Amino acid sequence: MKKLTVFDIIRKPVITEKSMAAMAEKKYTFLVHPEANKVEIKKAVEEVFGVQVEDVKTMNSLGKVKRMGVHIGKRSDTKKAIVTLKADSKTIEFFDNMN
């Protein structure tokens, strides 16, 4: 496996009502690379956004099997990371304008 860069690890932010409500507690949700571990995710978020990360929680979701007539396909598997920032850390500016 090739080495992942910080921009390979963080795919995109998750924008839902639940994730927006968690931002009040300095918790941010991202879709991440399925093979990235918690240490890599922590380093990537700290490097890209310039914040201090306290905790990383991850969850894997298996893609649904979908069919259209006789054709069967599968949605891709995803991995989500919920990143908690330290109390004295600044917020991530990218999310500030979304509330």
Q: Each residue of 81-98: pLDDT tens digit?
A: 999 999 888 888 776 666
pLDDT over 60 at 69, yes or no: yes
Q: In which residue are the tokens 């396909």 written?
A: 73
Q: What are the start-end ranges of the E strands in the chain?
A: 10-13, 27-32, 53-61, 65-68, 71-74, 78-85
Share of the chain above pLDDT 90, in %: 76
Give the residues across from 74 on adjacent strands.
65
pLDDT band, very low/low/confident/very high, at 29 (cuts 50, 70, 90):
very high
Global pTM?
Answer: 0.85
**Token reading at 82:** 């919920």
The residues, any chain, with a CB within 8 Å of residue 15's CB and separated by 6 or more, are: 98
| pLDDT for the residue numbered 89 | 84
Higher-confidence residue of 69 and 99: namely: 69
SS3 label, residue 70: coil
Give the residues across from 21 on adjacent strands.
none
Q: CA-CA distance, 5 to 10, in Å (whole number)?
A: 9
Q: Give me the chain's average pLDDT, please.
A: 90
Q: In which residue are the tokens 């879709």 written?
A: 31
Q: CA-CA distance, 51 to 45, in Å (whole number)?
A: 7
| pLDDT for the residue numbered 80 | 97
pLDDT band, very low/low/confident/very high, at 1 (cuts 50, 70, 90):
low
Gyration radius (Cα) of the chain, Å: 15
